Amino acid sequence: MQVITSAANPVVKRVRQLADRKHRRRQNAFVVEGLQPVWRAVSAGWQLEMLIVAPDLLTSRPAIDMVADLERDEVPVTRVSADIFHRLSDRDGPAGLAAIVHGGLGGLNELAVTADSVFVVLHELQNPGNIGTIIRTADAAGMAGVILLGNTADPLSGPAIKASMGSLFALPVVAVAEPAELLSWASGNGLRLVALTGGGSAELWAAELDRPMLVLFGNEGAGLPEPLLAAAELSVRIPMTGTAESLNVAAAAAVVLYELRRRESAAGRVKPS
């Protein structure tokens, strides 16, 4: 069993190259690290170019068995030393498992709209950790998908995938460049637009949040631009006390999405878990 110990190895160079967004886009591939994210990518049927394993670090028996099963199914497995894996990892105490995955973000035409759909729209968020966390929350709260609007951070970056804990592979995440395209698609599918903003006209707890809908969240610093606020049928605010002027966008998303989940549960349309 060959174990790579040189940083000059082509596989090591390729992993480092895919840390750059332009290379991820050009090659339609990205790196997934960690037991849970890799397992979820495999379970969701994403195409694996290869698994990268550090035998001295990978101690989880289910993960070892998964690697063996995939290798029997002719998925290439590259084994590297613990030192090399540490150099490639963006985590403290890496578990010794990563994968190069093929694929990218789809478009609005890939989203299925039903009468109960709620889609989360993130306008120009710049923190990949926020994007990953919101994707994870949207998955947990039963949302229909996440739409990245405009120039956002890359959800296929290491920090975003780490924050999503593999939820990136569990629900649709798509990208759209221009608000006009989003608004046209929403109108054509009968989707109501609800904007979260500190100056919202209705408090979240009392707002009429009728599905299907898009829930819009703005950039960490600037919030939502005026054209999107004007296009929204309803603007909603989270009531606040104390001295904090605002919530982190990922925290705000959690509050809103679980209020939507609570309402569906109270109406008997979802089973409490």
Q: How high is the pLDDT of residue 90? A: 84
**pLDDT score at 245:** 80
Domain ranges of the chain: 10-102, 108-266
DSSP assigned state of 201: S
> Counting beta carbons within 10 angstroms of the beta carbon of residue 20, is it exposed (0 to 12), middle (13 to 18) or buried (19 or more)?
exposed
Q: What is the topology classification, in CATH, of domain 108-266?
A: Alpha/beta knot (3.40.1280)
Q: Are strands 97-102 and 29-33 parallel, antiparallel or unpaired?
A: antiparallel
Distance CA 138, CA 146 (A): 7
Q: What is the pLDDT of residue 266?
A: 86
Count CB neighbours of 252 within 10 A: 20
- Identify whether the C-beta of residue 249 lies closer than 8 Å to the C-beta of residue 218: yes
**Residue of 138, 127, 106, 110 whose CA lies nearest to 218:** 127
Task: Quick: pLDDT tens for 61-73.
Answer: 999 999 999 999 9
pLDDT at 129: 96
Stretches where the chain sits below pLDDT 50 are: none
Domains 10-102 and 108-266 agree in fold: no
- CB-based contacts of 162, cutoff 8 Å, min separation 6: 33, 34, 37, 90, 91, 129, 132
Q: How far, in Å, CA of 109 to CA of 128, rounded?
A: 24
- H helix or E strand, kind and range, residue 163: helix 158-164
CATH 3.90.1150.10 applies to domain 10-102: no
Compute the distance between CA of residue 86 and CA of residue 82 in angstroms, rounded to an integer.
Answer: 6
Could you write out the DSSP letters of every residue in 203-241? ETTTS--PSSEEEEE-BTTTBS-HHHHHH-SEEEE----
pTM of the predicted model, to two decimals? 0.93
